[in-house]
């Protein structure tokens, strides 16, 4: 039987999911924006807001969906997976209660503490801003200040790095957040491990390092992610195989404590001098990390979805031994004052050996336009990070004029700097 899969979401992450599924099923998609990459792969597309549970279910029933995949976190927070499951469409994505591992950072930390999940930093949660400010004053060390809810990867402020303690308190008072998490600042190198979860199984993929800062040299404000890279091995150059295994053990502890969890579990870690510590968990693929992971997945993604639905053990994952480098092109002014509504020309033919993924753009009758977020990504795949970076860099002409890029992602200087940093932390 040919499966009919509904994909919810219209960003770069979802374009990568669509590319991984399109050859193996009848694929339909819905999103609030018209992503030309997804539309070109799908058998049908409907403009529906990702949080419109009734609209998503109606479209799933109209196309006869037998499976669904939820891409964005806001849809999970809105209970789209619950609504689809309840309508008889098995959805690879956690229900709202389990999605709180991402959507409620206060829950996330308390869950880790209560379930003895390793890698949890010191933390406190607050629903009173002045009490939080008093904690900032009294804490002996630097803190990460996190809103408890979703902020698109741009809500965290770190004292001793991005802001002073006085600036952190001003941020708290001006933000309007009703709940916040304050936790010890973790020092080291960030990395991500993404895994497929269902029926108590966890199948993990190679580690990825994302780059949040807007400008080269890790300068400027945080963004949703300007690009990322992975190596031909499961671990990154600044890690050991044991570091990777330690991170997977943390994720296994989460899966053991959430027996009903299904979908993608994304662990974002800091590799400290003492080993991996948890920055956060997400309940879906990362963006851009999905664009590193899915193109190297040789096991059909559809096989994972079907096994999950049928209550079977998830298949072991075959992954190509390739490094990847993803570079995002974003509107001028992103993230603070992005230039939205600009018509852009994407010349996919000029990308050479790289893959091109459309992200937060909107296709109209007369062309493709920017929104307020990241526009298009290019991904190089090769035997080494250096070769993959060269492929991605050459492909940037495909993004055309009017967009900005961090050219340093995946370069030897950046990667070797990460290796030196970890060696210094470890006293090597």
Which domains does the chain possess? 4-95 (3.40.50.20), 122-184 (3.30.1490.20), 189-418 (3.30.470.20)
Asked which of 159-163, 187-191, 269-273 is least confident by mean pLDDT, the reply is 159-163
pLDDT higher at 272 or 178 = 272
Q: What is the pLDDT of residue 398?
A: 83
Number of other residues whose CB lies within 10 A of the CB of residue 214: 19
For 51-70, the pLDDT digits (tens) are 999 999 999 999 999 999 99
Q: How far apart are CA 194 and CA 197, in angstroms?
A: 10
Q: What is the pLDDT of residue 358?
A: 97
Contact 276, 110 (CB under 8 A): no
For 302-348, the pLDDT digits (tens) are 999 999 999 999 999 999 999 999 999 999 999 999 989 999 999 99
Alpha carbon distance, N-terminus to C-terminus of the chain: 56
pLDDT at 153 over 70: no
Q: What is the pLDDT of residue 152?
A: 65
pLDDT tier for residue 154 given thresholds of 50, 70 and 90: low
pLDDT at 176 over 90: no
Phi/psi of residue 305, nearest 5 degrees? -65, -45
- The answer to whether the peptide bond before residue 335 is cis (omega within 30 degrees of 0) is yes
Contact 239, 420 (CB under 8 A): no
Q: Where are the alpha helices (DSSP H) in 191-328?
A: 241-257, 289-293, 301-309
Q: How far apart are CA 199 and CA 192, in angstroms?
A: 23
Q: How far apart are CA 146 and CA 132, in angstroms?
A: 11
pLDDT tier for residue 149 given thresholds of 50, 70 and 90: confident
SS3 396: helix
Token reading at 312 = 């079977």
Helices (H) and strands (E) in the chain, counts: 14, 24
Q: What is the pLDDT of residue 19?
A: 98
pLDDT at 392 over 90: yes
Q: What is the mean pLDDT of the chain?
A: 95
| CA neighbor of 376 nearest in space, from 297, 284, 289, 288 | 288
Token reading at 185 = 């600042």
Q: How far apart are CA 235 and CA 227, in angstroms?
A: 18
Q: What is the pLDDT of residue 402?
A: 83
pLDDT tier for residue 155 given thresholds of 50, 70 and 90: confident
For 189-233, the pLDDT digits (tens) are 999 999 999 999 999 999 999 999 999 999 999 899 999 999 999
Average pLDDT over residues 145-158: 79
pLDDT higher at 397 or 255 = 255
Q: How far apart are CA 410 and CA 422, in angstroms?
A: 17
Question: Residue 357: in which H helix or E strand, if any?
Answer: strand 355-358
Average pLDDT over residues 102-121: 95
Question: Residue 103: in which H helix or E strand, if any?
Answer: helix 96-103
CA distances from 21 to 301, 306, 361 (A): 6, 12, 21
| CA neighbor of 4 nearest in space, from 61, 46, 55 | 61
For 230-245, the pLDDT digits (tens) are 999 999 999 999 999 9
């Amino acid at each position: 039987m040919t499966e009919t899969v509904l994909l919810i979401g219209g960003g770069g992450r979802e374009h990568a999911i669509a590319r991984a599924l399109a050859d193996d099923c009848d694929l339909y998609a819905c999103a609030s924006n018209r992503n030309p990459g997804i539309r070109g792969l799908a058998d049908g597309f409907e403009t529906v807001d990702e949080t419109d549970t009734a609209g998503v279910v109606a479209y799933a029933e109209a196309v006869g969906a037998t499976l669904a995949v939820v891409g964005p976190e806001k849809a999970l927070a809105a209970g789209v997976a619950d609504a689809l499951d309840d309508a008889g469409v098995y959805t690879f994505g956690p229900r709202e209660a389990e999605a709180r591992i991402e959507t409620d950072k206060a829950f996330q930390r308390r869950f880790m503490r209560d379930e003895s999940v390793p890698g949890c930093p010191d933390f406190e949660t607050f629903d009173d801003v002045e009490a939080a400010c008093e904690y900032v004053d009294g804490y002996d060390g630097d803190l990460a200040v996190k809103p408890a809810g979703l902020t698109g990867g741009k809500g965290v402020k770190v004292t001793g790095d991005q802001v002073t303690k006085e600036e952190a308190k001003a941020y708290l008072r001006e933000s309007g957040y009703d709940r916040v998490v304050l936790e010890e600042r973790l020092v080291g190198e960030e990395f991500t491990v993404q895994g497929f979860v269902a029926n108590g199984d966890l199948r993990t993929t190679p580690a990825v390092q994302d780059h949040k800062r807007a400008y080269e040299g890790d300068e400027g404000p945080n963004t949703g992610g300007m690009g990322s890279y992975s190596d031909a091995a499961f671990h990154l150059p600044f890690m050991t195989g044991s570091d990777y295994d330690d991170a997977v053990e943390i994720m296994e502890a989460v899966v053991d404590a959430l027996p009903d969890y299904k979908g993608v579990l994304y662990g974002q870690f800091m590799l400290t001098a003492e080993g991996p510590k948890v920055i956060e968990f997400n309940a879906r693929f990362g963006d851009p990390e999905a664009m590193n992971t899915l193109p190297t997945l040789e096991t059909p993604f559809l096989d994972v979805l079907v096994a999950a639905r049928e209550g079977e053990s998830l298949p072991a994952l075959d992954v190509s031994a390739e490094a990847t480098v993803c570079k995002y092109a974003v509107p001028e002014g992103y993230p603070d004052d992005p230039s939205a509504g600009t018509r852009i020309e994407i010349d996919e033919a000029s990308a050479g050996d790289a893959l091109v993924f459309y992200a937060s753009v909107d296709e109209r009758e007369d062309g493709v336009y920017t929104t307020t977020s990241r526009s298009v990504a290019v991904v190089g795949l090769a035997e080494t990070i250096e070769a993959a970076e060269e492929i991605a860099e050459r492909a940037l002409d495909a993004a055309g004029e009017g967009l900005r890029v961090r050219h340093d992602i995946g370069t030897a200087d950046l990667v070797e700097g990460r290796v030196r940093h970890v060696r210094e932390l470890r006293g090597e």
